[in-house]
Amino acid sequence: MTLLDRYIATEIAKAFFLVMLTLVLLFSFLDLIQQLDNIGSGSYRFADAVLYELRMLAPRTLELLPFGALMGTTLALAMLANQGEVIAAQAAGVSVARFAWSVLQSGILVAVAAALMDELLVSQLHQEAVQQRAMSLANAEVTPADEGFWIYHGDRFIHINRVLHGRVPADIDILQLNDERRVSLYIHARQADIGDPSNWLLRDVVVKNLAEMPTVTKHHPSMYWESYLTSEQVGLLEVPPRTMSPTQLYAYVHYLQGSGQPSARYELTLWQKLAQPAAVGVMVLLAIPAAFGTPRSMSVGKRVLIALGGGLLFHILTQVVANSGLILQLPAALTSLATPVVTAIVALVILRRAST
């Protein structure tokens, strides 16, 4: 990196850190206020709400990253422009394209780091936060085990050893006790499809009727089991799509397609995650025009407000296009990349006009 690249990167990093710190703390505080309504439900207490918000710091940072990149870059470049440093760089022979590339390098670095963190760490933290909260809020009995967890209600128990792809219960043991508190029925299944939460489709099933002597054992390739789990308990087995890493989403989409189940919502979430680095780069690109123009023609605050409006418009359009794509059954890749591509074109046009 040249001296110019390092200087611009340093100024953007300082503004970006300040903006992200403000945004994350603000949204965390607002969410904590909403969590207060759940205190007292199940075993959920104020300490659980605070712990949940602490676990959500990293996921929330990633969610706000495109908006923070836009605001932080705009703030840094607007201050450089108002101090005359951009004009000084141009007078020294730095072209608009070279200046823009210096700025984009910082955005690309942040986008790549965010994508790696989401895959390796943040998604796992997000899932743990959501599951711990759901477990505390659940009214029914749930007991974590060394492997998986037990869910029980009255004289019926179910042990989920693993959850594949974040949403598919696997290695399942179901026990039914008799009046003498002895196991009268035992069911083991390799995995289960819980598209219908009240009627699970068990696969590769062994059923042992211990109430009969001798014990009767039957094997079934698949069978339906009427679930007694509440919606809160089922929620423990299904992490929300937005908490899943790209590789988890990819594997789950293939699982759904292989079993003939709808996968459009998960494909969209997968492509939205894959498109987030592009969104960060586009937001940085959209901020670059803030560096050009007459320094006194527009204050720093006004440039930041314009960027704020652009970021909100980008977010609204992204959601509208994504939901419209689901309704119209358009390819998820198209609906996820359409808004960033169009925004990038608009940003390039604005940059060209601002630099003339």
Taking only the tens place, the pLDDT of each residue in 292-343 is 765 556 677 787 888 888 888 998 999 999 989 989 989 999 999 999 999 9
Region class of 119: left (phi > 0), else alpha (psi between -120 and 50), else beta: alpha
Distance CA 28, CA 292 (A): 34
Q: What is the pLDDT of residues 165-174, one digit of tens each?
A: 778 889 999 9
Model pLDDT, residue 140: 52
Structure tokens at 136: 């505390």
Max CA separation in the chain (angstroms) = 95
Please tell me the pTM assigned to this model: 0.81
Structure tokens at 40: 């007292």
Model pLDDT, residue 189: 94
CB 269 within 8 A of CB 318: no
Model pLDDT, residue 117: 92
| String of DSSP letters for 243-281 | GS-HHHHHHHHHHHHHTT---HHHHHHHHHHHHHHHHHH
Distance CA 349, CA 183 (A): 72
Distance CA 257, CA 270 (A): 14
CB 224 within 8 A of CB 193: no
CB 104 within 8 A of CB 284: yes
Nearest alpha carbon to residue 11 among 63, 89, 66:
89
Residue bearing tokens 């560096």:
291
pLDDT < 70 regions, the chain? 1, 138-147, 231-232, 293-298, 354-356
Model pLDDT, residue 355: 65
Model pLDDT, residue 339: 92
Within 13 Å and on the Cβ side, how many CA atoms surround 344?
A: 13
Q: How many helices (H) and strands (E) does the chain have?
A: 12, 7
Model pLDDT, residue 258: 85
